[in-house]
Amino acid sequence: MKIAILYFSGTGNTYYAAKEFEQQFQQLGFLCDLFHLEDANLTSETISSYDLIGFGAPIYGSSFPHIVKAKIKTLQGHQTCFTFVTQMMFSGDGAAYLGRLASKQGFQSNYQIHINMPNNITDISWLSRKHQPYEAIAKRVRRKVSFLIHRIQKNQPYRLGSNPFSLMLGLLQRFPYEHFDQQAMANLIKIDAKSCIQCMRCIELCPVDNLLVEENHVITQGHCEVCYRCVNHCPTRAIRIVGRRTPKHPYHGPTEDFQIEDLKK
């Protein structure tokens, strides 16, 4: 069986889960390849020879970054797929919603799971706190991934988030979030000009080319994905999005040796 896993990851959480799926599938003797949804060259033809497709993304207010929804709309397929979402607490129907997006493109969504990961929203003081031990993160992700792969092997569908109660919880979050998203996206990112050293790191990391330098200032172009890469990897902590202060404890990923550049490899 050939497996393709398509993912988007803001600061490493979904990437880490995707890598765990890849590793466990390979240990079982399956061919498994990773593709990031930021890749402009990723097309339906790219994944046409694969037997099983995985879709992974972070959940924001029970919705997804624009880049995820837009990219999935460009893909067509008929294969069975599994979906996994990374979340801070709960998302209601997050994985099921991702499955519905894939189903609209012809994929058969039979396996859906949520994976709780550390919070990367570090510019809100009450959310910004010391993160979980790396060992605890690894154990939880390994257990969740193993469970879903077992269901896939046994051909036992698992559609977490597909019940009416989960759908209601998802809708209660998704409607206000997407309304806010449309109204406020143009002015989300705030950059402290006094702290900014124009190192260009935020520009290099942005998945949608939202940042640029103009007249010796880094400015935004009004299409932030709220991925928090720039916030957490600015060397001078000069950037914030929804909070009032720049981060005291930036989130640098789910492992001690994580490198943000790995997301696009």
% pLDDT > 70, the chain: 95
Strand order in the sheet with 52-58: 31-36, 2-7, 52-58, 80-87, 108-116, 158-159
CA distance 221 to 42: 25
Domain with CATH 3.40.50.360 in the chain: 2-173
Residue 4 has pLDDT above 60, yes or no: yes
pLDDT value of position 259: 93
d(CA 237, CA 30): 42
Q: Is the pLDDT of residue 244 over 90?
A: no
In the chain, residues under CATH classification 3.30.70.20 are 187-261
Q: How far apart are CA 34 and CA 188, in angstroms?
A: 31
- pLDDT value of residue 176: 85
Please provide the average confidence, as pLDDT, over all residues in the chain: 92
Q: CA distances (Å), 194 to each of 75, 191, 204, in order?
A: 43, 9, 20
Answer with the residue of higher pLDDT: 99 or 61: 99
pLDDT value of residue 130? 64
Per mean pLDDT, which of 16-20, 116-120, 177-181, 216-220 is the most reliable?
16-20
Give the pLDDT mean for 153-157: 97
**Is 3.40.50.360 the CATH classification of the domain at 2-173?**
yes
Tell how far CA 87 is from the center of its chain: 9
Sort strands 190-191 and 239-240 into parallel, antiparallel or unpaired: antiparallel
pLDDT class of 107 with cuts at 50, 70, 90: very high
- Model confidence over 133-144: pLDDT tens digits? 899 999 999 999
Residues 177-205: tens digit of each pLDDT? 887 765 566 578 899 989 999 999 999 99
| Mean pLDDT along residues 66-74 | 95
What is the architecture, at CATH level 2, of domain 187-261?
2-Layer Sandwich (3.30)
Q: What is the pLDDT of residues 27-60, one digit of tens each?
A: 999 999 999 999 999 999 999 999 999 999 999 8
Q: Look up tokens 């600061």; give the residue.
A: 11
